[in-house]
Structure 1
Amino acid sequence: MNHRDTPETDRPEIPARLLVHALVREDGTVDTGELYAVAGLLTMTDQQVRLCVKRLVTEGRFTQEGRGGKAVLRATAADVTGAIAPDTDHVRHAYRQDHGLAPWDSTWHLFAFAVPESRRTARDALRGTLLHLGAAPVQGGLYVSANPIAELVEARARHLGVLDTVTFLTSTDLRIGDTDDPRRLAAAIWPLDEIAARHERLAAIARASADQLSQGGSPSGIERLTLAVELAAEFTRAMTPDPLLPPELLPQPWPGSRARRLAQECWTALRSLPTAPDTPMSPPRLFRIYGDAITQPDGQ
């Protein structure tokens, strides 16, 4: 199996920093031999990896024992894989939607806030939370979500000390101008074309990886790591900005459902391969995190 057969244009762009995070094992270490090997399959140069490691050590995110490909990096924070790890609740909700287990109740959840300029940092943080949770701006200071996220928004606003500036309301008859049809509203409020394009790319990566696994022969442990990192990186890229709109609000068929199904099938195939001779004794925690999120979603 030759991982380099994959066309460069079809492969996800993975920063060296993200690769280091992806290879953190359960004990918080990174084997630099594996790091350089996977980086090579991803067409990164040794110089890129060395500079990245140096920056991470300088920033205090890792400590380094040894040199070069025989060194061991040790993470200084427990959540170091956060840059690539999935939000398990978010992912499982997506699969529940895909299987018709989370129907929409026709309720829009709206949030209005007026945080003063003197508290700009808190205002930006609250706005970032709303966007992260899938809400979108309707107009200045007014955000809408199709999912019940009020409890999470309230907790964040309380933590930031701006809860008294936030208004919470729900509606079943939202209208913007002359538009009140829910599906047309969703298309006007959220960038559905961009979201769909990210999922189309995830589907292409998952399909290409599955094809490689079915071509015969058994991929080496390093090749498996590389496929897993590529799939995880593209899955994160597609899912992190996905508002997970209910199927009732989306064009059908929706590429997100197909992409998640292909990713699940590919990840299951990766995990079912017989152990390769060069498989690391302690696989990256990425395998467990994604295995739990993608292959064991609630409701299946």
Structure 2
Amino acid sequence: MSRSRPEIPTRLLVHALVRADGTVDAGELYTVAGLLGMTDQQVRLCVKRLVAEERFRQDGRGRKAVLRAVSDATSGALAPDADHIRHAYRQDGGLAPWDGTWHLFAFAVPEARRAVRDALRETLLHLGAAPVQGGLYVAANPIADLVEARARSLDALDSVTFLTSTDLRVGDLTDPAQLAAQIWPLDAIAARHERLAAFAEACIESIDGTTPTGAERLTLAVELAAEFSDAMTPDPLLPPELLPPHWPGRRARRLARDCWAALSALPPEPGAPVRPPPRLFGLYDDAFAVPEETGPAGPA
């Protein structure tokens, strides 16, 4: 079954292939990069830049080289946010119903502290809040403790106002689901989940009854991690009560977990050297190790 490949920067691929001992096998890197459509020249230039930035040391040359991470270069942007993912699966399993409370945050930081203002905004967006109007953000999940911790670390707690409400109204809109549809870009979020679901389903079909090579397995796992990260990172994890019918997130996460399990269950490649998997894979093993869905959470 043909499928489109996610766009994975070469730098991100290098970080994704760092193993437990902090090394990256260059031969493996070039092979996986080739399967992802990258050229050898792209890989060489990327490795050269990473070495010049003192993020890696290089022993040897070409495909026989070994890269050694100078600092913690586990997986870059592909590393899963375990708490975020566990909450998603709890919602999918009907274990985190919405209590009807909106969590609002307002802040006013002077231009002289623009970096602090930007950091607060990025924190709120990362935690799933969305702007209602200038300086006022709303979230459907209780994130106040996390926002407060970040504000304290920025020495900006006095600039943040915290509020909860059960009767949010924007203009004439009061219906919670209609409010969510106006405040969050649900169409764009749904499209990312549809892409993740399509990739995971195609991945499962492609390995059914086959034994991919070690490099092919690495490639599929990195692609799945990239698609999963792309779908989950901007997802505010709105409670099912606020989402449209047949929301694709639940199905996409189930297929992603099934795909990861199928990859993990593949038998060893005959004659291949036994190597520990990249650190990234252990992080996803932990993130996907969640209880099976135990209750209804709306249409899947």
Alignment partner of 1:63 is 2:57 = yes
* TM-score normalized by the length of structure 2: 0.95
Q: Pick from 64, 69, 72: which aligns with 1:78? A: 72
Aligned pairs (5 A) from 1:179-218:
179-214=173-208, 216-218=209-211
Alpha-carbon shift at residue 282 of structure 1 (Å): 1.5
Q: Pick from 238, 242, 246: which aligns with 1:253? A: 246
Alpha-carbon shift at residue 204 of structure 1 (Å): 0.8
Alignment partner of 1:139 is 2:133 = yes
Q: Pick from 266, 269, 273: which aligns with 2:259? A: 266
**Mapped partners of 1:140, 1:297: distance in 2:** 38
- Residue in structure 2 matched with residue 44 of structure 1 by the alignment: 38
Alpha-carbon shift at residue 217 of structure 1 (Å): 2.5
Alignment partner of 1:287 is 2:287 = no
Q: Pick from 119, 123, 147: which aligns with 1:153? A: 147
- Residue in structure 1 matched with residue 216 of structure 2 by the alignment: 223
**Mapped partners of 2:91, 2:262: distance in 1:** 23
SS of corresponding position for 2:75: helix
Alpha-carbon shift at residue 137 of structure 1 (Å): 0.3
- Residue in structure 1 matched with residue 12 of structure 2 by the alignment: 18
Matched to 2:170, the amino acid is I
Contact 1:147 1:245 in 2 (8 A): yes
**Mapped partners of 2:75, 2:171: distance in 1:** 44
**Mapped partners of 2:75, 2:38: distance in 1:** 20
Contact 1:134 1:244 in 2 (8 A): yes
Gaps of 5+ in 2: 294-300
Q: Pick from 109, 113, 118: which aligns with 1:124? A: 118
Matched to 1:39, the amino acid is A
Alpha-carbon shift at residue 299 of structure 1 (Å): 6.7
**Mapped partners of 2:135, 2:144: distance in 1:** 16
Deviations 1:192-233 (A, max 9, x none): 00000000000111011111011x331111110010011001
* TM-score normalized by the length of structure 1: 0.95
Alpha-carbon shift at residue 286 of structure 1 (Å): 1.5
Contact 1:146 1:245 in 2 (8 A): yes
**Mapped partners of 2:115, 2:154: distance in 1:** 9
Contact 2:15 2:73 in 1 (8 A): no
Alignment partner of 1:297 is 2:290 = yes
**Mapped partners of 2:212, 2:185: distance in 1:** 38
- Structure 1 runs of 4+ aligned residues shifted over 4 Å read none
**Mapped partners of 2:184, 2:41: distance in 1:** 40
Deviations 1:221-249 (A, max 9, x none): 11100100110011001101110000000
SS of corresponding position for 1:80: coil
Matched to 1:259, the amino acid is A
Q: Pick from 86, 92, 96: which aligns with 1:98? A: 92
Matched to 2:7, the amino acid is E
Contact 2:18 2:73 in 1 (8 A): no
Deviations 1:249-269 (A, max 9, x none): 001211011100000000001
Matched to 1:106, the amino acid is G
**Mapped partners of 2:230, 2:13: distance in 1:** 14
**Mapped partners of 2:41, 2:71: distance in 1:** 25
- Residue in structure 2 matched with residue 177 of structure 1 by the alignment: 171
Q: Pick from 226, 233, 241: which aligns with 2:226? A: 233
- Residue in structure 2 matched with residue 54 of structure 1 by the alignment: 48
**Mapped partners of 1:252, 1:75: distance in 2:** 46
Contact 1:92 1:298 in 2 (8 A): no
- Residue in structure 2 matched with residue 244 of structure 1 by the alignment: 237
**CA separation of 1:49 and 1:35: change in aligned 2, threshold 3 A:** same
SS of corresponding position for 1:251: coil
Alpha-carbon shift at residue 115 of structure 1 (Å): 0.6
